Amino acid sequence: MQEIDIAVVGSGIGGSLISALNQAKDLVLFEKDSNVGGCASTFKHMGAHFNTGATTLVGLEPNSPLQNIFDTINFKPNVIKSDIALCIIQGDKIVDRNSDFEAFLQDIDKHYPHKNNRIFWTRMQKLDNVFWEMKSIYFAKYSLSGLINSTKFISQMALSFNISLLESGKNYIDRTLHGISDEYLDFINAQLLITLQEDAKNLSLLAMALGLSYPLHDVYYANGGMGTVIKDMIQNIELHKNECIENIQKENSKFIISTSKDTYKASKVILNSTIYDSAKLFSDKSIQQYYNNFEFNDRSAFVVYVKLNISKEFLHHYQIILKDFLPMSISKSFFVSFSDINDDILSKSGLSITISTHTQARLWSNLSFIEYEDKKLELQEFILREFLCYFKEIKKEDIIQIFSATSKTFDRYISRQNCGGEAISFKNALSFPTCNTPINGLYNVGDTVFAGQGWNGVAMGVSVLNKELNG
């Protein structure tokens, strides 16, 4: 039995970042798949490469949580800054979202005229700026230092944002953009689904501001796929790929970890599994009970992967907003990511495209095999038809590969059905999961614990975890 200090389970963004920060220690990073990165992995299918899910990288400004980690580990990712963060197309309306606030506001006034547009979007930007300038961001339970630092953070949040923590995003829209058209509201909610998996009525004003403001930051494209960033970042770490964790047993102050290949004894365990998928790793009933207390968030994704035999230049990211909900979906939009024309891996022999929309895991879980395949094909063909309508430079005959993935597919390959957890708010702060747990030596990291989703959100949680781990 190999004895190690730290076992990290899962090579998603969170697991890889915390491993990189602690690479000088006796640490092993376990990954059940042959590809690293989880939702941010890149895989090969019939000779072509595709991003599994995540395709945007945000958070490389100086002193951001992610950039601070990259600076600490002396890592520079191979990325390209996207000139336009996101091109949003809704009928005949086209809005380019990027860091040029005034240009963006001109587009908004042109397509969605309202006398309070500047008030609304300036408030979004201001709340976002204030949050990311905070120096005491911390949220952890089950340790004295964590509670002290968390109290300071919550107090600062209350002073800085007061009603913004309590007011719903929808309420702020109603009183600021009163009389807003359904089309304009769809425009706002479609972007919130990308970043927070929720619409305005289920988010606080602050959460809404953070979700809507991400394209105001610099957005980057990962050369070679998002998985390349992960792979390059953890190249000096002891990585055990194709090794599945089958059981973890608490034994006094240690954890006995049984895998598909071996058995290990670890002093600390960091799970990059979701908070909803962690109970099944343990045989200890009290640990299972801790994880089972969290209600499953069944927001999930349906992803269509397309390989073209053409090499034309497109923007990296588009969002297409339709008038009605997509079949088997909770969204009226889909997100399109094109590989960069000069990407030697993803664009080899033609462009690689990832198209995603939001669905619910439960919609796919109870279908018969035939129903499942029929619904999957129906949604894939619906998205393809709409996609070809909006990108007329692309013909159906240009497609040399097309296939899709549901929550069941993701569960099979990366052991999770959902995408992200709840957005943290003042109301759920006491029950929201943090990086540490009541079990000494057991930690969680990733997008279902503080601070949430995206590279920068996960990095924020990793920074807190690193302090708890080494405090």
49-66 pLDDT tens trace: 999 998 999 999 999 999
- pLDDT for residue 426: 61
**pLDDT tens track for 316-358:** 999 999 999 999 999 999 999 999 999 999 999 999 999 999 9
The answer to whether residues 329 and 303 touch, using CB atoms and an 8 Å cutoff, is no
Place of tokens 């690689």: 352
**Stretch 12-28: mean pLDDT, rounded?**
97
| Residue 258 C-beta-side C-alpha neighbours within 13 Å | 9
pLDDT band at 136 (very low <50, low <70, confident <90, very high): confident
**pLDDT tens track for 404-414:** 999 999 999 99
Q: Where are the alpha helices (DSSP H) in 27-79?
A: 65-72
With a cut of 90, say whether residue 303 has pLDDT above it: yes
- pLDDT for residue 184: 98
Interatomic CA distance for residues 207 and 196, integer angstroms: 8
CA distances in angstroms from 169 to 14, 101, 138, 197, 360, listed in the order given: 28, 20, 23, 14, 22
The answer to whether residues 245 and 272 touch, using CB atoms and an 8 Å cutoff, is no
- pLDDT for residue 429: 67
- Cβ neighbours, 10 Å, residue 109: 14
- pLDDT for residue 425: 65
pLDDT band at 119 (very low <50, low <70, confident <90, very high): very high
List of domains in the chain: 2-79+223-296+420-470 (3.50.50.60), 99-216 (no CATH), 298-414 (no CATH)
- pLDDT for residue 98: 87
Interatomic CA distance for residues 126 and 374, integer angstroms: 46
pLDDT band at 459 (very low <50, low <70, confident <90, very high): very high
With a cut of 80, say whether residue 123 has pLDDT above it: yes
Interatomic CA distance for residues 91 and 213, integer angstroms: 23
Element (H, E) at 299: strand 299-308
**pLDDT tens track for 188-201:** 999 999 999 899 99
Interatomic CA distance for residues 164 and 172, integer angstroms: 9
Torsion of CA 114, 118, 120, 121, to 10 degrees: 120
Residue 316: name the closest of 51, 83, 37, 41 by CA. 83
Residue 334: name the closest of 347, 350, 351, 353 by CA. 353
The answer to whether residues 321 and 90 touch, using CB atoms and an 8 Å cutoff, is yes
With a cut of 70, say whether residue 167 has pLDDT above it: yes
Share of the chain above pLDDT 70, in %: 99
How much is the mean pLDDT over the chain? 94
Interatomic CA distance for residues 273 and 361, integer angstroms: 17
Pairing of strands 79-81, 57-58: unpaired
**336-341, Cβ contacts within 8 angstroms, sequence gap of 24 or more:** 336/387, 336/391, 337/51, 337/55, 337/56, 338/314, 340/80, 340/221, 340/223, 340/316, 341/311, 341/312, 341/313, 341/314
Which range among 143-147, 209-213, 380-384, 401-405 shows the weakest confidence by mean pLDDT? Answer: 143-147
Interatomic CA distance for residues 241 and 244, integer angstroms: 8
pLDDT band at 439 (very low <50, low <70, confident <90, very high): very high
**pLDDT tens track for 350-389:** 999 999 999 999 999 989 999 999 999 999 999 999 999 9
B/e letters for 149-179, b = 16+ CB within 10 Å, e = fewer, are: bbeebbeebeeebeebbebbbbebbeebbee
- Cβ neighbours, 10 Å, residue 45: 12
Backbone phi, psi, residue 61, to 5°: -70, 150
Backbone phi, psi, residue 221, to 5°: -105, 135
With a cut of 80, say whether residue 428 has pLDDT above it: no
Helix axes 117-132, 101-111, angle to 10 degrees: 150
Q: Indicate the residue type of 404.
A: S
Place of tokens 């999930």: 300
- pLDDT for residue 401: 97
Element (H, E) at 257: strand 254-259
The answer to whether residues 227 and 50 touch, using CB atoms and an 8 Å cutoff, is no
With a cut of 80, say whether residue 163 has pLDDT above it: no
Share of the chain above pLDDT 90, in %: 87
